[in-house]
Amino acid sequence: MMYTDDSKGVRVAKDPAVVRFRDIYYMYYSVCERLDDGTMKWGIGIARSSDMESWEKIGEIEGAGELESTGICAPAAFLHEGRIHLFYQTYGRFEKDAICHAWSDDGIRFTRNQTNPILRARGNWNNGRAIDADVCVFRGELYLYFATRDPEGKIQMQGVSKCPLDGRFERGSWKQCCEDAVLKPELEWEQECIEAAATIVKDGRVYLFYAGAYNNSPQQIGVAVSDDGVHFTRLSEEPFVKNGEEGSWNSSESGHPYVFEDEDGRIYLFYQGNNDNGKSWYLSKLEIDFQNGVPYIVSK
């Protein structure tokens, strides 16, 4: 699989999120257009597939209202009680960027949560920013992992909040679970950034795949695990998915992962990449599995 969106004159598809809804796969991703002043305006594309290999764009979610006027992106998709829930971020507000929520009964038309934004980072260890949401059900509650930055706005790191699994997910329901970053860059290849959490719960533990280093630095994918959803330990000091060799489609980076478990139990790691330092972006996937509590890439 290699998917991109060229409907706006640039080849850009980033930040994938996938669900299976009514026996069809839906993928939500960041898409952009170049404005007359040279800046990029971000929205969320919607593609559909019967096999996760061939994808057809079927719609787009644009920013609505003052809160989203500068753009939206980086969706996380979550299927709950027959509805698709999206958790996504505002874009272009820097430390004021926050997580929003919307839901859909058909996968295409979404209703915004009236309490948006539902989540910002709290505490003197961060600058209030919250982006790159991902959610998982853990111990009967919905855990939302987000990226934030230190007070100086330099170091990107991970935080987590949780709320009841009630389907409303309103602003007042969220409780931040951490008083410091749950994961922050420490390894040389992670440089100054850990972002784009991608979680899956296996055998009572939360596995968190993440993007290390800022885009094209190169960004690569690591993985950590937690017994309580808050305190994480890396499974390796090396990236789980590295950027490709020179000349490959992802030589500039392999980044922003998303974990999708299908109804048959097979697990796929979607991610973004490019080989031109961000002039274009493509999406692809790998099948992964677990052995003795450790994930590995399934060979084709």
3-state secondary structure of 96: helix
- Please say if the pLDDT value at position 177 is more than 80: yes
Structure tokens at 19: 């669900």
- Please say if the pLDDT value at position 295 is more than 80: yes
With cut-offs at 50, 70 and 90, classify the pLDDT of residue 34: confident
Q: What's residue 1's pLDDT?
A: 87
Q: What's residue 38's pLDDT?
A: 76
Query: 14-288 belongs to which CATH class?
Result: mainly beta
Q: What's residue 24's pLDDT?
A: 98
Per DSSP, the residues of 136-194 read EEETTEEEEEEEEE-TTS--EEEEEEEEESSS---GGG-EE--SS-SB---SGGGTTBE
What sign does the dihedral 1-272-300-135 (CA atoms) show?
Answer: negative
**DSSP bridge partners of 267:** 261, 288
Q: What's residue 44's pLDDT?
A: 98
Structure tokens at 293: 């509590």
Distance of alpha carbon 189 from the chain centroid: 20
Q: What is the mean pLDDT of residues 144-163?
A: 98
Structure tokens at 78: 């979550």
Query: What are 265-287's pLDDT values in tens digits?
Result: 999 999 999 999 999 999 999 99
Q: What is the mean pLDDT of residues 90-96?
A: 95
- Classify residue 50 as exposed, middle or buried by CB count within 10 Å of its CB (0-12, 13-18, 19+): exposed
With cut-offs at 50, 70 and 90, classify the pLDDT of residue 82: very high
Q: What is the mean pLDDT of residues 233-250?
A: 97
